[in-house]
Amino acid sequence: MDTHTDVRRRRLGDWIVGQELGRGGMGTVYAAVHEESGRHRALKVISCDAEPSPEEAARFDREIRIGMSLRHPHVVRMESSGREGRLWYLVMERCEAGSLADRVRERGPLPASRAVPLFLGVLDGLSYAHTAGGAVHRDIKPQNLLLTAGEDGTEVAKIADFGLAKAYETAGLSGLTRTGGFAGTAGFVPRAQLIDFKYAKPYVDVWATAASLYFTLTGRTPRDFPPGRDPWLTVARASPVPVAERGATVPRALAAVVDQALDDDPARGFATADRLRDALRDA
């Protein structure tokens, strides 16, 4: 069944569903307007091919509540969630300028002068979520870093989908199908997380943020993924390529920080978002 056409024909709760903003591994994101108040938001509609059991639904709701409790200028605000039969939706702040992945794909890599300020903000949001919120994201990647106008009008990046990776896993939804496969994710997974998928220390998010910065500066993932080879084998065996070898002009001190953050040994990388943020600021 095509969730896309199904959603376009209907409202979801109090929301009038508009244009598609993008598709990810678990579903599709639409622009939406609240019927009564007229407020604009993004609706993430998750594809489920069977109606979840009450237990599954309760587990999922419990996990996403953690994401909903987060309030920070660099974390995409998750407002509420709803369900109509087998259609689940999450109501989020809408980020007008789309994802960092789309930006790099459309306009090419960003210079360090533009990328670093964006990532200082992301690391602020990450530090807040790790410390105040006690939440590890586990799926940071350029597709989950969304661009929008900040409080002073300059463009900022915000982290989307906090709590969702855990919610998918904990709920164990039997009817949940990954529509887009894992393509594009392996490039942002640290080896420590591959070896133990329950390894959920802040380092995992810090590594993935550094990999997203690497992608933003170079248009490439830190590891090369040879076609035809299992990408997870590549994560297990191949080391990240030093950023200076990618041909982009990255200042030497910044390159050293990015390479250190991408060390496969958690003991040599950056254990916390604050430490990487301070090192980037000093580079």
Ligand X SMILES: Nc1ncnc2c1ncn2[C@@H]1O[C@H](COP(=O)(O)OP(=O)(O)OP(=O)(O)O)[C@@H](O)[C@H]1O
Phi, psi of 144, deg, nearest 5: -100, 5
Contacts by 225-230, CB closer than 8 A, 24 or more apart: 225/186, 225/187
- Binding site, by residue number, is 44
Q: State which H helix or E strand residue 87 sits in.
A: strand 87-92
Q: Which of 209, 168, 197 is nearest to 63 (CA)?
A: 168
Q: How far apart are CA 177 and CA 168, in angstroms?
A: 10
Rounded least distance, CB 249 to ligand X, Å: 27
Q: Is 139 a catalytic residue?
A: yes
Residues 30-69 that bind ligand X (CB under 6 A): 42, 44
Distance of CA 82 to the CA centre of its chain: 21
- Burial class of residue 106 (count of CB atoms within 10 Å of its CB; 0-12, 13-18, 19+): exposed
Rounded least distance, CB 118 to ligand X, Å: 16
Rounded least distance, CB 253 to ligand X, Å: 31
Q: Does 26 bind ligand X (CB under 6 A)?
A: yes
State which of residues 7, 24, 104, 210 lies at the interface with ligand X (CB under 6 A). 24
The interface region with ligand X, picked from 25-33, 115-123, 193-201, 236-244 by CB under 6 A, is 25-33
What's the full length of the chain, in residues? 283
| 100 vs 112, beta carbon nearer ligand X | 100
The interface region with ligand X, picked from 18-26, 103-111, 218-226, 252-260 by CB under 6 A, is 18-26
Q: Does 242 bind ligand X (CB under 6 A)?
A: no
Lay out the site mask for ligand X across 121-160 (x = CB under 6 A, - = otherwise): ------------------x---xx-x-------------x
The interface region with ligand X, picked from 4-12, 22-30, 214-222, 239-247 by CB under 6 A, is 22-30
Helix spans in the chain (H): 3-8, 54-68, 100-107, 112-131, 164-171, 191-195, 202-218, 231-237, 252-261, 273-282
- Binding site for ATP, by residue number, is 44
Residues that bind ligand X in the complex, under the rule CB under 6 A: 21-27, 29, 42, 44, 76, 92-95, 98-99, 101-102, 139, 143-144, 146, 160-161
Catalytic residues: 139
